C-alpha cells in the first residue's frame, strides 16, 4: 500500500473571539499548543467548527501567520481555504501554501445552490490554476448538510485525475457511512489520496477501510481519547475504544444546542477562560443557564 498524503487525528480548531468579536490570538495560540500536546497529530485551522466562513479572508490569513510565528510548525497545519468566491479561496490557498502549511481543506463555492459537477470542477480547477504551486495539497470538503453542495465520487475522481498528487484527499463530514465507503473506492484508484471522516464516530470504520484518520470537532475537547482509538484501531478492543469517544458528542446532541457553541462552552470550562464560550454571529452563545445545563449533562465531566 502506498503512503497516504496525510494521516492522523486533526482538530478543526475552535476560534476564540473577544467581546468585540475579533479573534483572540493569544487564546488561539495557547489552544493550538494545548491540542497538539493533548494528542492531535495536527490542526485544521478554519474548518466549519472553527467558524471559518464567519471570518474575513484577511482575518483568516493573519491568524495563520500568528500561529506559525508563535512557533507551531506549519507542517502540522492544514488550512481551511473555502470561500464563496473562488478568487478568495485561491488567495487563502496560496497564502497557506506559501506559509509552508501541510495542505488546504477546501469547500466548494457555497452561495449558489444546485450548481453542476462541471461548475464545481471548474471552480476547484481555477483555484489550482491560480495558485499554480506544486507544493499545494488540496483536500476537498464534503459537508453537504451545511454547505448545501455535495462533492460526488465522480467529481473527486475527475479532480484526482486532473491534479495527480495535488488533489490529495477528501474530508467527508456527511456522517453517512455509505458515502464514506464510496470514497474509499475512489481513493483506491489514486495512490496517496487520503480519506478523512468528519466525525470520530466513524474513525474505526474509516481506518479499517484504508482512510487517513479524522478531522473531528470533538478533537477540540477530547484529543487524547480519539488519539487512543487512532493508535489502537487494530487492537482487539478497538470497538470499545471507539465507544469511549461517544459520550461528549451524545450529550451535546441530546442537549439540542448548537455543536460549535457547545464545544466552546466545554473549552471555557476546561481552560477556565469564560470568554471561550463566545461565538461570532450568526451563531449565538449559549446563555448561562444553557451552559450550566450542558455541563451538567456531561457525566463524567470532560477532563481539563
CB of 175 to its own copies, least distance (A): 15
User: Restricting to residues 210-269, which ones interact with its own copies according to CB under 8 A?
Assistant: none
Give min distance, CB of 263 to its own copies, in A: 14
Cβ-contact 6, 139 below 8 angstroms: yes
* Interface pattern 123-162 for its own copies (x via CB under 8 A): x--x------------------xxxxx-------------
Q: Which is nearer to its own copies, 207 or 279 (CB)?
A: 279
Applying CB under 8 A, which of residues 56, 162, 253, 296 lies at the interface with its own copies? Answer: 56
Q: How many CB atoms are located within 10 Å of the residue 28 CB?
A: 21
Q: Work out how close the CB of 159 gets to its own copies at its nearest, in angstroms, rounded to a whole number.
A: 13
3-class DSSP assignment, residue 197:
strand
**What character string, x for contact with its own copies (CB under 8 A) and - otherwise, covers 10-29?**
-----------x--------
Q: How many Cβ atoms are within 10 Å of 165's Cβ, its own excluded?
A: 14
Q: Is 288 in the site for its own copies (CB under 8 A)?
A: no
Based on CB atoms, which residue is closest to its own copies, 98 or 145?
145
Interface segment toward its own copies; rule CB under 8 A; list 39-47, 55-63, 163-171, 268-276: 55-63
- Contact call for residues 237 and 244 (beta carbons, < 8 A): no
Nearest to 172 by CA among 187, 191, 158: 187
DSSP-assigned letters across all residues of 2-45: PPPS--EEEEEE---B-TTSSB-HHHHHHHHHHHHHHT-SEEEE
Stretch that binds its own copies, among 72-80, 120-128, 150-158, 222-230 (CB under 8 A): 120-128
Beta carbon nearer to its own copies, 107 or 194? 107
Cell of 233: 484501531
Q: How far is the CB of 22 from its own copies (least distance, A)?
A: 8
| Rounded distance between C-alpha atoms, residue 92 and residue 274, angstroms | 30
CA distance 97 to 106: 13
Position 36 contacts its own copies (CB under 8 A): no
CB of 156 to its own copies, least distance (A): 16
User: Residue 84, interface with its own copies (CB under 8 A)?
Assistant: yes
Would you say the C-alpha torsion 118, 123, 128, 130 has a positive or negative sign?
Answer: positive
> Residue 243 CB: number of other CB atoms within 10 A?
13
Q: Closest Cα partner for 124 from 153, 95, 178, 166?
A: 166
- Least Å distance, CB 103 to its own copies, is 21
Instruction: Report the nearest approach of its own copies to the CB of residue 147 (Å).
Output: 7
Considering CB under 8 A, how many residues would be counted as binding its own copies? Answer: 38
- Phi/psi at 43 (nearest 5 deg)? -125, 145
What is the sign of the dihedral through the CA atoms of 152, 153, 158 and 163? positive
Pick between residue 10 and residue 55 the one whose CB is nearest to its own copies: 55
What's the first-to-final CA gap in the chain, in angstroms?
38
Judged by CB under 8 A, the residue of 113, 256, 272, 300 near its own copies is 113
Residues at the site binding its own copies, with contacts judged by CB under 8 A: 21, 53-57, 59, 83-88, 91, 108-113, 115-116, 118-120, 122-123, 126, 145-149, 280-284
Amino acid at each position: 500500500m502506498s503512503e497516504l498524503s496525510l494521516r492522523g487525528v486533526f482538530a478543526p480548531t475552535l476560534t476564540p473571539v473577544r467581546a468585540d468579536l475579533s479573534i483572540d490570538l493569544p487564546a488561539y495560540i495557547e489552544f493550538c499548543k494545548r491540542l497538539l500536546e493533548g494528542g492531535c497529530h495536527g490542526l485544521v485551522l478554519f474548518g466549519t467548527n472553527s467558524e471559518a466562513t464567519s471570518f474575513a479572508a484577511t482575518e483568516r490569513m493573519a491568524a495563520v501567520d500568528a500561529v506559525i510565528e508563535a512557533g507551531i510548525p506549519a507542517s502540522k497545519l492544514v488550512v481551511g481555504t473555502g470561500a464563496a468566491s473562488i478568487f478568495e479561496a485561491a488567495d487563502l490557498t496560496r497564502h497557506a501554501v506559501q506559509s509552508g502549511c501541510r495542505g488546504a481543506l477546501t469547500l466548494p463555492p457555497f452561495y449558489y445552490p444546485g450548481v453542476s459537477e462541471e461548475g464545481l470542477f471548474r471552480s476547484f480547477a481555477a483555484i489550482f490554476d491560480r495558485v499554480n504551486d506544486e507544493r499545494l495539497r488540496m483536500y476537498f470538503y464534503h459537508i453537504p448538510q451545511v454547505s448545501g453542495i455535495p462533492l460526488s465520487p465522480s467529481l473527486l475522481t475527475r479532480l484526482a485525475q486532473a491534479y495527480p498528487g495535488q488533489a490529495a484527499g477528501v474530508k467527508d463530514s456527511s456522517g453517512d457511512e455509505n458515502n464514506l465507503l464510496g470514497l474509499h473506492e475512489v481513493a483506491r484508484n489514486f495512490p496517496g489520496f487520503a480519506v478523512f471522516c468528519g466525525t470520530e464516530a466513524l474513525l474505526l470504520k474509516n481506518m479499517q477501510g484504508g482512510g487517513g484518520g479524522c478531522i473531528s470537532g470533538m478533537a477540540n475537547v477530547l484529543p487524547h481519547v480519539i488519539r487512543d482509538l487512532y493508535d489502537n484501531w487494530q487492537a482487539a478492543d478497538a470497538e470499545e475504544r471507539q465507544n469511549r469517544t461517544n459520550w461528549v458528542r451524545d450529550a451535546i446532541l441530546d442537549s439540542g444546542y448548537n455543536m460549535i457553541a457547545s464545544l466552546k462552552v466545554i473549552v471555557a470550562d476546561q481552560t477556565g477562560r469564560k470568554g471561550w464560550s463566545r461565538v461570532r454571529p450568526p451563531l449565538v452563545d449559549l446563555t448561562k443557564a444553557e451552559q450550566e445545563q450542558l455541563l451538567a449533562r456531561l457525566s463524567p465531566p470532560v477532563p481539563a
